[in-house]
Amino acid sequence: MIVFCNQIEISDTGERILPTQKDEVSIVFSRHKFAYEYVQQFVENKTVIDVGCGTGYGCKILAEKATIVYGIDHDKEAISYCKQKYPAPNITYIEMDINSTVLDRQLDIATAFQVIEHIQNLSKFIERLKQIVKPNGVIFISTPNVKQPQKGKVQNPFHFNEMNYAQFRKLISDNFSSFEILGVAYGTSNRIRHLLGKLPFYKWGKRLNRKSKFKKIAVHALDLTSFTIINSQVEEKSADLLAVCHNT
């Protein structure tokens, strides 16, 4: 699938998170978008960098409250899409790898959402985040809560690091002395969703086309696009893990 945006084309790699279009539903996009909406409350009047900004919807959310937002991504196609789809006077999109990032200032906040699973050298990556952010600034890092890593043909070819709660907590504690691990979880309890989630066809349903009528009905019936932040039972209930790290 290719998404068109005012003459800008962006391909669906199968991993890139594309914003939903009219009459589409996406559980994954809704979940990732929610994380930015949650962090938005902490960026008012702050300078922010979104590392691995992807298609730019997160930068747009942050820029509604932040003073300045830098969105960086190594993918030229994604940055072109960002500039045309989500422009704003206080957003600067830059085609750049974090290891070659050169900014004339240290920033208040960094977000790295759904990025670390794509990084081979995690220690170097996190150290670079700490260098970019001011002392006493905050770094938000999220990643899927992978309780059982996939193997063989079903393994995600885009991921180098898939972590469960214990592994993610160790990574964060090894690099930060002050932090909190939160979870992104479904916003409501749903007994049917809980039962179906254990069945194989539930996972197959995630692969349905975003415009599928069946998918729309299921998403509505099971309340699959409503999320909340939890700070207890994170290991068991969260779909994504979210670390709030203080750059002390």
Structural domain boundaries enclosing 33: 26-187+231-246
Q: Which tokens go with 15?
A: 């991993």
Q: 131 with 236, same domain?
A: yes
Q: 54 with 100, same domain?
A: yes
What does the alpha-carbon distance between residue 213 and residue 224 come to, in Å, rounded to a whole number? 15
Q: 134 with 216, same domain?
A: no
Query: Does some domain include residue 183?
Result: yes
Q: 200 with 240, same domain?
A: no
CB half-sphere exposure, 135, CA atoms < 13 A: 1
Residue 19 DSSP one-character state: P
Q: 117 with 218, same domain?
A: no
SS3 91: strand
Per-residue pLDDT 10s for the chain (248 aa) are: 445 444 566 665 555 777 888 878 788 899 999 999 999 999 999 999 999 999 999 999 999 999 999 999 999 999 999 999 999 999 999 999 887 766 767 999 999 999 999 888 899 999 999 999 999 999 999 999 998 655 544 455 655 688 999 999 999 999 999 999 999 999 877 555 555 555 454 454 456 666 666 567 666 767 788 999 999 999 999 999 999 999 99
Query: Does some domain include residue 21?
Result: no
pTM above 0.75, yes or no: yes
Domains in the chain, number? 2
**Helix, strand and coil in the chain, % to nearest 5:** 35, 25, 40
Amino acid at 152: G
Query: Does some domain include residue 110?
Result: yes
Q: In CATH, what number is assigned to the domain containing residue 34? A: 3.40.50.150
Q: 147 with 50, same domain?
A: yes
Helix axes 122-132, 165-175, angle to 10 degrees: 50
Query: Does some domain include residue 242?
Result: yes
For 146, phi then psi, to 5°, come to: -95, 95
Q: 166 with 87, same domain?
A: yes
Max CA pair span of the chain: 52
What does the alpha-carbon distance between residue 100 and residue 121 come to, in Å, rounded to a whole number? 15
Q: 95 with 137, same domain?
A: yes
- The answer to whether the CB of 10 falls within 8 A of the CB of 81 is yes
Q: 200 with 168, same domain?
A: no
Query: Does some domain include residue 5?
Result: no
